[in-house]
Chain A
């Protein structure tokens, strides 16, 4: 019975989101600081270093950590205000059970009672419907230690195949493409390579808003004279000063990349020596783009042919070049194709394994890189091993001290788990660090699915919109309440340090999982005294895998300001740049070209749905907003979703800036203010996705997934937009000259 016990308004009144305005005691409390803890931001994959100021077991402020080499003190607004998620009025302090009669809809209970009930429900559902009818969904805001533990917990304690993670909605197309082409799933370069590039090509990455610190790396390249190419349907803030802007129509990136490869071949801008020595498959890839002329691509992509030729010339003739891509090309039913087509451009021009050269994803989530290496992906075991490979299974079973046969096989990816819940094949769910009601496509379908669960338990620190559906809520830990490691987007393992202890009866996430495992009779497999022991086991389990952490220790990670994997033996210095000397991670050492014919998106425009919707993020909010929608200063920056549209489109609909519009797809509709700006393609509208319920952009999006990566197509939805009548606010009325706090 996993329906919310009360109405949305009643739940919000009790559990928020409420807005934390000021540090503990208010702004005027004075800043008494007991100690300063060096750690990292809890949000995106940049994992900026930050120092948290602590007083009386509460984080009361921050100080830039200038010495940490990645960001040298720089932070985005989320990083600056991240400390306000602590000491928050919405913080979950006690285990709770769903109880519509209780005030707020949940009844406080004891850990013992809550966990006994969780274990009883797991046992009941698995006995009645089979082990795999109980699923687990996890997330990569978790540290490496917790990600590893979740993988082991689901396979050995829950004994379910059906574990997957929220990177399925984020980095998984890039990971799949990287493995196919390069043999390894890691950004090929440390970020210090970006300033060494003569051309920086940013494809489908709103760097200024989603990876703000990367902006400074790109400017360092430009200070040396590098050219900047930006490929995006919107003139995003970084694009404003770009040397070349490629205004690609959503869903057509592979046509653009194909045409660029076509031009590279036609003009002879190829590195034949590199292609011959270090790659296979060039001829097939070349054949696939034989007809992809710039004129053909201009028609499909909406990018003028002359700009495609200019991009090809810059990329093809530059001595060094970096392409940075993110969800803009990856969140598609052909996300893997797009990534492979991008990598083709790097291989064709020899731009791998050298300073200032690479084609790299920018990992989105905090531990998006490390979290996807150590085993909470449905098809994966630690060390980025394949759960279907007998040798890989045996290697991990030896570390885990179990029989290889005890490790379940490949499970369902996240969206399939939600669909299996909807059609009744999965009856029970444990989720941690995942808010699918906001982040998964087709939100109304996701809500129906959660409602159908026989039993749902959530480990979280706030009552997220998904957690409102839970039967049992287990209060876990915030980032600053536990220690461990994460691995940033450049492949650098870094140390997360605890600043405070969990408040009330809240527990560290790993302690909760270990307790459940013990109650399931598997305690002997999970006898950890602390998270460092989990890390040491993770390192052993990664030994011999591609994501090899063998030589990493917490001490080294702190002393050396991070370590780049692979670190295959103790004392190994780590590997900041991959593929040096043209050695790729496939057994023959060669990279793979892939032929990428152009395919349309799952939905194309028609008379009923004539416009393209693309979704994404704003700088002041992070993912499903569970944390950032609770921090007043971040909410004030962008309080509610707006529908960005070009004035030409606004004219045809008959609206002006601020008029309410209704956006309708085949799955749902929402009404929100039009934000009329000339910085978006006239055939495209953009809505950020951070909000729940009637404000959720994911009411509109499509559940269609990439056939390999199983990534949903968040970036292309066919919609119609109509005038709704009424007005909303789009204008920012804050006076940023003097931005006053209210307490």
Chain B
């Protein structure tokens, strides 16, 4: 029934571009429809500060190359697949201690009391194994969540892909990419005028506008 979108020679990557998020929650709703965890959404969607902005931020598991959650798990319950997908805690092993919840630098794992188990995004392994896009990136209307090859991204999208983070002294490389503005990738023109945006004063309340 299903037809793969990606062949075996393709190596699609998952990309999050938070700036494109419109907060519609299609990802949240679609995640809960996934065949392996029906009724449970495993994606995060944060309202950053609704009083000040409509900015929202979706967050899937970043699938770290050397995952902190697994490092701190006393029960060795968090495993990676060969493809580098970090999975939810193995149910028989998980002791519900929440070390992973506290340790993850991205705040991804959640301890679900109802199941006494840590659960998190597994990158829709049931779909990606068949060459299909994960559910959230399938439906995302703004392509803030995106799945495809790096070549496709560079051909069609603006922004620079990025996956190395420094948390204090801990360096983390993730399987999932984020996007930063090309301008921020440098070199930085330090003598240029400061960038002024209408966002500083959306309604012209500070400008000398005839009212």
- Chain A residues near B (Cβ < 8 Å): 22, 27-28, 31, 33, 36, 61-64, 66, 73-77, 79-81, 208-209, 212-213, 215-216, 219-220, 222-223, 225, 235-242, 244-245, 247, 295, 298-299, 302-307, 619-620, 633-634, 637, 646-648, 657, 676-679, 681-682, 732, 735-741, 743
Contact = CB atoms under 8 A, between A and B. Distances in A.
A208 B35 contact: no
Given A208-B142, A222-B158, A740 B39 contact: yes
A216 B142 contact: yes
A237 B156 CA distance: 23
Given A208-B142, A235-B54, A247-B203, A741 B25 contact: no
Contacts of B30: 75, 80
B204 interface: yes
B1 A304 contact: no
B158 A223 contact: yes
B210 interface: yes
A619 B202 contact: no
Interface of B: 1-2, 5, 19-20, 22-26, 28-33, 35, 38-47, 50-56, 110, 112, 114, 119, 133, 135, 138-143, 156-158, 198-199, 202-205, 207, 209-211
B110 A619 contact: no
B9 to A, nearest CB: 19
A73 B133 contact: yes
A222 B56 CA distance: 20
A73 B25 contact: no
Give the interface centre of B5, B30, B39, B210 by most chain A CB atoms within 10 Å. Answer: B39
A77 B25 contact: yes
B141 A75 contact: yes
13 contacts: A33-B1, A66-B133, A216-B141, A223-B157, A235-B202, A240-B55, A240-B199, A245-B202, A247-B202, A302-B203, A304-B209, A739-B31, A741-B40
B28 A739 contact: yes
Contact of A741 (B1, B19, B32, B209): B32
Contacts, number: 178
Contact of A237 (B22, B26, B31, B45): B22
A36 B204 contact: no
B33 A62 contact: yes
A646 B42 CA distance: 34
Contacts of A647: 51
Nearest to B42: A738
Contact of A739 (B5, B40, B51): B40
Given A77-B24, A215-B141, A299-B211, A738 B41 contact: yes
| Chain B interface, DSSP helix/strand/loop, else mixed | loop
Contact of A76 (B19, B26, B38, B53): B26
| Across the A-B interface, the 4 shortest Cβ-Cβ residue pairs | A27-B39, A741-B39, A208-B22, A212-B141
B34 to A, nearest CB: 10
Given A219-B20, A244-B198, 11 more contacts: A74-B139, A79-B139, A81-B29, A237-B56, A298-B210, A304-B207, A306-B207, A634-B29, A678-B52, A736-B43, A736-B44
Contacts of B19: 241
Contact of A740 (B33, B40, B158, B199): B40
A682 B203 contact: yes
B25 A619 contact: yes
A212 B22 CA distance: 8
Contacts of A64: 133, 135, 138-139
Contacts of B39: 22, 27-28, 740-741, 743
A298 B209 contact: yes
B51 A738 contact: no
Contacts of B56: 237
A66 B133 CA distance: 10
A633 B39 CA distance: 10
Nearest to B44: A737
A80 B140 CA distance: 11
Contact of B41 (A76, A305, A739): A739
A678 B53 CA distance: 7
A80 B26 contact: yes
Contacts of B43: 736
Given A215-B22, A736-B41, A73 B139 contact: yes
B112 A738 contact: yes
Given A80-B26, A216-B141, A245-B198, A736 B209 contact: no
A256 to B, nearest CB: 13
Q: Which of B2, B119, B141, B210 has the most C-beta atoms of chain A within 10 angstroms of its own C-beta?
A: B141
B138 to A, nearest CB: 4
B130 to A, nearest CB: 12
Given A66-B138, A75-B26, A307-B198, A236 B54 contact: yes
